[in-house]
Structure 1
Amino acid sequence: MTETDPMADEFDTMAAWTAEAVAELGPDHAIPAACRGSGSPAALEWLCDRLRLGPGVRLLDCGAGVGGPAELAARRHGVAPVLAEPMIHACRASARLFDRPVVVATGDRLPFASGVFEAVWSLGVLCTVPDQAGLLAELRRVSRPQALVGLLVFLRTVAHLPQQPEGNHFLTDGELNGLLARTGLTVLERAELSDFADPEPDWQAAADRVEAVIERRHGADQRWQSARSQEQVIGQLISEGLVTGRLLVLQPAA
C-alpha cells in the first residue's frame, strides 16, 4: 500500500504528474495546468499590474509550485522570474515545463541575499506554512526597499471550520492584519478573488484535459485520491463562503 501525505500528494506528486500529462497533450496546456490553485488569469493580471511588473523586473515567486503564474508574468510582461519551492518534484516539473531558474527552499529560509528582488509574490502559500511570520519576514528581507509584495491568501470567515484540510492554517481577517503589522507590511490594495472573471473556456478546457489525463493514469493511486480529497474539502469550504481568497499588494514599512 502506498503511504500518503496529503500535502506532498497535492503539491509534489501532482506536480510531477502534471508535467507528464502536459508532455502528452502539448505545451499549450502547460500554463493553464500549472496555474491550478493560484487564481484566474484576470486575478493574476490585476496583481501583475499593481506590482508594476515590466520587462527585466526580477520577480521572486515564493512557493511557486509548478511555476504557471510566474511564466504567465514572464510571457505577458517580460519579467525575469526566479522560483523558490520546497517540493522537489514541483521544482523538477517547473524546470521541465518552463526552464526558469528554480531553487528548492522553504519560504521562511530563502537562499537569497537581502534586497535583491524588484518584486515578490507568494500565491496561496501563507495558509500552508506553520511559520507564517517567518515567511512574510523573508519576503520583506529579499525585496528591494521600494519593491512591492503580492499575496494571494485564503482566509477563514468563521471561528471554526467544519472540516480542516490537513496542513492548512487559515487565518481570519483580523489575524492576518495583526500578522502584517507585526512584520512591517502595509496593505496598499486588496481585491477579493471571487470578484474576478472565471478563466476563458479554452483556458479551463486545457486545464481540465490535463486533469483528465492525470486521473486516467493515476486515479487508482492512493496519492491521487488523497490529493483529490484535499482539493474537494478546500473547494467545498470556498463554495460555502467559509474560506475566501484575497489578493493583497503590500509595501514594507520604511
Structure 2
Amino acid sequence: MSSLRELQAGVRAALLADDERGVAPDVVDDGLSASARLAVYRHHVFTSLTEALEATYPVVCRLVDRRFFGWVADQYVRVRPPAGPCLFEYGADFPEFVAAFPACAHLPWLADVARLEWAMNAALHAPDAPALEPEALRALDPPALARLTLRLDPSVTLLASRWPVDAIWRANQAGANLTVTVDLDAGGASLEVRRVDDGVVLRALPPATFALRAALAAGRTLEDAVEQALDTDPAFDLAGEIRALLDERLLVDPGH
C-alpha cells in the first residue's frame, strides 16, 4: 500500500499527466477498472475547473469561442492546478498563461481583456476596509502629509493597456449593440476597477489621475505619487484629486 504522499503524487500524475502507473494499483476494482474510475474523476475535475474559468473569464471565452477556450483551459489546468479549495480564487495567472500561449499570439489584446476580467473578479471578492476620513488628513502638517503612504481600497485594481480593452469588454456584454465594432487602433486605456456596494465599477481615468493612483497602489508616498502625476500633466489638480479620493472613499484608514 502506498503512503499518503505517494498516493497524492500518483493521483496528481494520473489527473494532470494521464500517467496512472503510480496510483492504479491502489484503486479498488469494484466493477469498474482503475483506468475507467480515474477517467471519470479526471473528467469531473477538468470540467469543474474549466467551468470555473469560464465563469471568471466570460468575455475571453466569448471572444475565442467555447471550444477553443476549453482547449486553452485544459492546457492551463495541467500546468496550473488549484492551490486552494476556493474556485473563485482560481485562475489569477490565467492572463499571463494566455499571453504566453502560442495559439493566442494572433490576439495580442486577449491577455489584457483577461486581466480586466480578473480585476473584476478580485474586486467582487475583496475584503471590506473602512475608508479614511478627511479629518485624518487635515490633522497632518504638510511635511508629514508628503511622507504619508496612503493605501487604496482592497477592491481597487489599476490596469493600463495599449488596447481599448474596456471597449472590447463592453461590446461583449449582454444587450450590447452588435452592429458596433471596436477599433483596435483607437489607443490604449487607463482603467480603474473597484467594488461599490455589491457591484463592480469600471471606468477610464485621465492619465495624471491614473499615474497618481497607480503610484499610491504601488506603495509610494504621496509626495512621490504627486510627482508622477505632475510629470504626466503639469496642470494636474492635486487638491481636486485628493478631494475625489476622499469623496469616492478610495483611501483606507491606516489604523485598520
TM-score class, shorter-chain normalisation, is: under 0.3
State TM-score, norm by structure 1.
Answer: 0.27
State the structure with more CA Rg. 2
- The structure where helix makes up a greater share of residues is 2
State TM-score, norm by structure 2.
Answer: 0.27
> Which of the pair has the greater relative contact order for Cα pairs under 8 Å at 6+ separation?
1
